[in-house]
Amino acid sequence: MLTSDANNQLASLDRELIEQRVRALWELRSRGEVTSLASLLAHDCVYSGKTWFEKPVDIRRDGRDACLEWAHQLNAMVQHVETEILYLIIEGERVAACRRMRFRERGCGRIEEVIICSYTRFRGGEIVEIVEYPDTLAVKRLL
């Protein structure tokens, strides 16, 4: 049986690992390194969220390959400029975060600040679910 100190140490290690991986996800996406994302995603990973295609649209991608394809599509539309993490909460294998991000639209070069709230779930150290809710009005101004 583990002591409460040992349990706290294990929880701390798990939290650090989860934080490293979610930050790696954001960093790879910001640099456009979509192929490298595959090592973080479970084969059955699901992405869901909102975007703007002339109106707010729900997006859902099932499976690692579909999630990577969506990341490629996002990179084709916008370029990441900078990120500020407003909050990051980790509880077990679940992460909630809010980020202020600046993107450049690749066509005309317009830059817009977008607040994105995200929820990420891990299983065995791999990402199994990503849910992102951006400020859709800011996305509309950007695109």
- Per-residue confidence band for 8, with pLDDT thresholds at 50, 70 and 90: low
- The DSSP element (H or E) to which 98 belongs, if any, is strand 94-105
For 89, residues 6+ apart whose C-beta sits below 8 A from its C-beta are 95, 96, 97
- Please give the pLDDT value at position 140: 87
Half-sphere exposure (CA, 13 Å, Cβ side) for 60? 3
How far, CA to CA in Å, does 119 sit from each of 47, 63, 93, 127?
10, 17, 11, 11
Residue 3 has pLDDT above 80, yes or no: no
For residue 120, count CB atoms less than 10 angstroms from its CB and return exposed for 0-12, middle for 13-18, buried for 19 or more.
buried
Please give the mean pLDDT across all residues of the chain: 90
**Percent of the chain scored above 70 by pLDDT?**
91
- Per-residue confidence band for 9, with pLDDT thresholds at 50, 70 and 90: low
Q: In this predicted model, what pLDDT tens digit does every residue of 59-114 receive, in sequence order? A: 999 999 999 999 999 999 999 999 999 999 999 999 999 999 999 999 999 999 99
Residue 2 has pLDDT above 60, yes or no: no
- Please give the pLDDT value at position 143: 82
Q: Global pTM?
A: 0.86
> Which CATH number is 4-142 given?
3.10.450.50
